[in-house]
Amino acid sequence: GKELLDKADKGGRYPLHCACLGGASLAVIKYLVEDADGDKGKEPLGKADNNGRYPLHLACKGGAPLDVIKYLVEKADGDNGKELLVKLDNNGKYPLHWACQGGASVDVIKYLVEEADGD
């Protein structure tokens, strides 16, 4: 049932983390964040797994398209979305590092750089 959406695995990853890493579509990500059960899915947006990786890090690592990356940043509460752009994981990597390693499009790379600049 929907209670599974609020359960982390042994690695501290919620279903949202796994979907981001696995290259899920924007529709799946939106369901996990918005439609699953009120605000339940929204909480993992600001939670790191045991490796210090947030859903944004994992989406970048998984080569997510720009619409998914933008959504994750914009949907995070308040300014936390932009803060996630400059959060290091336990390996000392920013989402930008993972995007480059994950074969992200130039549009994703530009977005991560420009948004982290703070305009």
Q: Of 77, 89, 64, which Cα lies nearest the Cα of 33?
A: 77
Per-residue pLDDT in tens (0 to 9) along the chain, 119 residues: 777 888 899 999 999 999 999 999 999 999 998 866 555 556 788 889 999 999 999 999 999 999 999 999 998 866 567 889 999 999 999 999 999 999 999 999 999 999 988 65
The CATH number of the structural domain formed by 2-117 is 1.25.40.20
**What is the value of pTM for the model shown?**
0.90
Interior angle at CA 118, CA 105 and CA 62, nearest 5: 30
Q: Give the count of alpha carbons within 13 A of 94, CB side only.
A: 12
- Which amino acid is it at 43? E
Q: In the prediction, which pLDDT does 118 show?
A: 63
CB atoms within 10 A of CB 6: 14
Ranges of each domain in the chain: 2-117
